[in-house]
């Protein structure tokens, strides 16, 4: 694993945007895997600026998001589709029909998982996957105990994950209990992975990811086995390494 240490959140976001821009420029039809959460917001802001400055175009880019809450429709401000539209897609020159997020209100959720997986496969594979990390080591919404062989599936969210994400909702009761997430194997098939980590509250997680044993108890630990992972982390996040 390649670890890039940066000063702060701003620098992490800028560094990540440089890697995304390079990938988009190099490939004819780039496929990006995108994440939600507070961590990648700065990266998306940088990409919007890079697009405005005409440093990069997203016209040939396809994106697949990692996950979506079950029960939240695209027009729900807490859905990840809404987040992506607001934070990135509405502000760049990407074709909306080339942006994919699992449908959390599909009538048949199992079928939605299978077809999302199939859709990724029909595009070859993800060229560059952006990841954040949950405090309990989750990637996407793959909670501790998820098999490393998992593909896109429905998960029951950990109480710790629900309370970590409750800050976006009016009350804890409104935080969904389930989500659709691409699986760990789906994520591991990405050609390149960039994991973003910022802040002291992530310091234990990043230390365990880098130095801990590879175990399904801590999903992100599987990244030790991927051949092209770059972690971009700020000083606070790296304080326990
Ligand atoms: C959510 C998302 C993850 C994200 C994690 C960390 O649970 N499903 O993809 O990495 O939260 O979020 P944050 O970046 O806000 O700390």
Residues of the chain with pLDDT under 50: none
Q: Are 1 and 33 in contact (CB under 8 A)?
A: no
Q: Are 120 and 190 in contact (CB under 8 A)?
A: no
Per domain, the residue ranges of the chain are 2-234
Beta-carbon-side half-sphere exposure of residue 65 (alpha carbons within 13 Å): 26
Known active-site residue 217: no
User: Model-level pTM?
Assistant: 0.98
Q: Are 123 and 199 in contact (CB under 8 A)?
A: no
Known active-site residue 138: yes
Does residue 129 come out as left (phi exceeding 0), alpha (psi in the -120 to 50 range) or beta? beta
pLDDT at site 83? 98
Which amino acid residue places its CA nearest to atom 10 of ligand 1? 132
Please give the distance, rounded to the nearest whole angstrom, from the Cα atom of residue 135 to the centre of ligand 1.
9
Assign 3-state DSSP to the chain and report helix, strand, coil percentages, each to 5.
40, 20, 40
Please give the distance, rounded to the nearest whole angstrom, from the Cα atom of residue 44 to the centre of ligand 1.
15
Known active-site residue 165: no
143-170 confidence digits (pLDDT tens): 999 999 999 999 999 999 999 999 999 9
198-209 confidence digits (pLDDT tens): 999 999 999 999
- Integer distance in angstroms from the first to the last C-alpha of the chain? 14
Q: Are 104 and 73 in contact (CB under 8 A)?
A: yes
143 lines ligand 1 (CB under 6 A): no
pLDDT at site 127? 98
Alpha helices in 90-233 (DSSP H): 109-122, 159-165, 184-188, 203-211
pLDDT at site 21? 98
Please give the distance, rounded to the nearest whole angstrom, from the Cα atom of residue 37 to the centre of ligand 1.
4
CATH 3.40.50.1360 fits 2-234, yes or no: yes
Distance CA 20, CA 230 (A): 12
pLDDT at site 119? 98
pLDDT at site 79? 98
Task: Find how far residue 225's CA is from the centre of its chain.
Answer: 18
pLDDT at site 172? 96
């Amino acid at each position: 694993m390649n670890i890039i240490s940066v000063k702060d959140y701003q620098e992490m976001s800028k560094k990540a945007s440089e890697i995304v821009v390079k990938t988009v420029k190099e490939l004819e039809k780039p496929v990006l895997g995108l994440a939600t959460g507070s961590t990648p917001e700065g990266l998306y802001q940088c990409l919007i600026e890079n697009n405005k400055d005409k440093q990069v175009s997203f016209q040939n880019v396809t994106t697949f998001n990692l996950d979506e809450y079950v029960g939240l429709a695209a027009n729900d401000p807490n859905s990840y589709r809404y987040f992506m539209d607001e934070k990135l897609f509405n502000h760049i020159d990407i074709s909306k029909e080339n942006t994919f997020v699992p449908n959390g209100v599909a009538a048949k959720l199992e079928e939605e998982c299978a077809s999302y997986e199939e859709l990724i496969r029909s595009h070859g594979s993800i060229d560059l996957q952006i990841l954040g990390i949950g405090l309990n080591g989750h990637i996407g919404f793959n909670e501790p105990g998820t098999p490393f062989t998992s593909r896109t599936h429905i998960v029951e969210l950990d109480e710790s994950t629900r309370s970590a994400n409750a800050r976006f909702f009016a009350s804890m009761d409104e935080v969904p209990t389930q989500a659709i997430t691409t699986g760990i194997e789906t994520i591991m098939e990405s050609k390149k992975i960039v994991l973003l980590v910022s802040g002291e509250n992530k310091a234990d997680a990043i230390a365990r990811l880098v130095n801990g044993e590879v175990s399904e108890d801590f999903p992100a630990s599987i990244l030790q086995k991927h051949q092209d992972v770059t972690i971009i982390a700020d000083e606070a996040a790296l304080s326990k390494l």
